[in-house]
Chains A and B, each alone.
Chain A
Amino acid sequence: MDWELARTSFWPMVSGSVVGTIPLSLASFAIGLALALVVALLRISGQPVLAGIARFYVSVIRGTPLLVQLFVIFYGLPSIGLTIDPWPSAIIAFSLNVGGYAAEILRAAILSVPKGQWEACHTIGMSRAVALRRVILPQAARVSVPPLSNTFISLVKDTSLASVILVTELFREAQQIAAFSQEFMLVYVEAAAIYWVICLVLSSGQSALEKRLDRYVAH
């Protein structure tokens, strides 16, 4: 085992995580979640046209490979005169992707809040918007943390696909080191280990968040 290579390749990969994988994941998840909330609300809005648009979006995102979505945005759009740099392309693709999956999670979570909660909001004079913000979404949040954590963890790993559109992140660093050193096994296992550690941190964050949101539920 080439410990020297393991050591010298470690820092470029960690740096690829810090400047690539992690900010790409955070930005895409934040934008995707905001998008998902809008789409989920459209789907339960009772407006047939808006709900139809939302359903179509979810269907396209879930029905096509993420890699293909990434290629359409980065390699496809320039042929119709729309060229987007690697970083924004990646953020757009990942956000749209997260938005499609998380929309379904949020919709289910909102619908899981008992109807009596809406009625209580109504009787104390709240509008639907205030009821959503103050009562329904906080309760839906509790239900949606486990599935949203899944989505987030998947996203962190999926950002490795950004390497194919030339974004400098963990896996692209690994590929370059591997190509140079020809130590494929060592370098890629090392990359896998770093992804795993990032996901372990996220999992413990999930547990802490679940615990916090469970404080008002009987055990």
Chain B
Amino acid sequence: MSPTDPLRPHTSEGPLLEVTALQKSFGTNRVLSSIDLHIDSGQVVALVGPSGSGKTTVLRCLNGLETPDGGTVAFRGGPSVDFGARVTKKEALALRDRSAMVFQNYNLFPHRTVLENIIEGPVQVQKRPRKDAVADAERLLERVGLAAKRDDYPFNLSGGQQQRVGIVRALALQPDLLLFDEPTSALDPELVGEVLTVIKELAEEKWTMVIVTHELAFAREVADEVVFMDGGVVVEHGHPDQVLRNPREERTRRFVQRLLNPF
């Protein structure tokens, strides 16, 4: 495919996203204390940690589903948003438009067919010609093995198929950053593989991705960097082999042990 293929990531070198001192509380509950993240273009970052550690909140802050109380989120090429100051609606929307989220529960639109789910954003929001959006959607569906399902409603699909549609819906927006919020947690075990395979292929194509996951084996295989969070802070981050096999921090070691030997 040509280098200008809209369905391929906009590859470039260097940093894509810089998150500094991100903070978020819900009432008196401090969920994120001070999170720093650095993500390069084409990099796959796995966010791991116990539930309640704040990893999903980080993801949601990046996509504007939560508004941080402080800290900055800066994309190369803009916007650079300082949540310590007043954030304009325009800035918040510009930030939202750089990324697209894949949800744990897929959140497909049940009243629209697979194809309609995918072209909804490109056509209704990005105002792209319907013909182009449909052509792109069909190619993306082909790629994840769901071309035959284009006119089905989501309720006719298995969980794994729905999640693959969820991924395609995010891809169709042509975002610079893909966010995955525990993309396989709602799936029956035998359906996890088909979703992880798709994500792995995206990694090979050099999409920039942040993945919140409990699948440590998958994180080790796909991620360029693993970030371990606990209690609203980044405890440790680095190469997957280092963080997941030879953790420096006691908390990381305990977490990895627990996931490897649950009983």
Contacts and interface: CB of A to CB of B under 8 A. Distances in A.
Say if A and B assemble together: yes
Interface of A: 114, 116-117, 119-120, 122-126, 130, 134-135, 138-139, 142, 215-218
Most chain B CB within a 10 A radius of its CB, from A139, A142, A216, A218: A216
Given A124-B121, A125-B173, A135-B109, 14 more contacts: A116-B103, A119-B65, A120-B103, A122-B64, A122-B96, A123-B100, A124-B125, A125-B126, A126-B121, A126-B124, A135-B111, A139-B111, A216-B111, A216-B155
Contacts of A125: 96-97, 121, 125-126, 173
A3 B154 CA distance: 58
Interface in B88-122: 96-97, 100-101, 103, 105, 107-112, 120-121
Contacts of B121: 124-126
B211 interface: no
A125 B110 CA distance: 18
A216 B111 CA distance: 6
Categorize the interface residue count of chain B: 20 to 34
Contact of A120 (B97, B107, B126): B107
A130 B125 contact: yes
B110 A139 contact: yes
B125 A117 contact: no
B111 A138 contact: yes
Contacts of B120: 124, 134
Nearest to B93: A125
Q: Interface residues of A: mostly helix, strand, loop or mixed?
A: helix
B124 A130 contact: yes
A124 B128 CA distance: 13
A210 to B, nearest CB: 14
A48 B181 CA distance: 34
17 contacts: A119-B101, A120-B108, A120-B109, A122-B96, A123-B101, A124-B100, A124-B120, A124-B125, A125-B96, A125-B121, A126-B121, A130-B124, A134-B120, A134-B124, A139-B111, A217-B110, A217-B155
A13 to B, nearest CB: 41
A137 to B, nearest CB: 10
Interface of B: 63-65, 96-97, 100-101, 103, 105, 107-112, 120-121, 124-126, 153-155, 169-170, 173
Q: Interface residues of B: mostly helix, strand, loop or mixed?
A: loop
A22 to B, nearest CB: 31
Name the 7 nearest CB pairs between A and B, nearest first.
A124-B121, A125-B125, A120-B107, A116-B107, A123-B101, A218-B155, A216-B153
Contacts of A218: 155
A124 B103 CA distance: 12
Contacts of B173: 124-125
B26 to A, nearest CB: 15
A116 B111 CA distance: 14
A119 B107 contact: yes
Given A216-B153, A216-B155, A217-B155, A123 B108 contact: no
Nearest to B154: A216
Nearest to B156: A218
Contacts of B96: 122-123, 125
A120 to B, nearest CB: 4
Nearest to A117: B107
A140 to B, nearest CB: 10
A16 B103 CA distance: 56
Contacts of A124: 100, 120-121, 125, 169, 173
Nearest to B118: A124
Most chain B CB within a 10 A radius of its CB, from A116, A119, A124, A138: A124
A130 B155 CA distance: 23
A139 B111 CA distance: 7
Nearest to A213: B111
Contacts of B155: 216-218
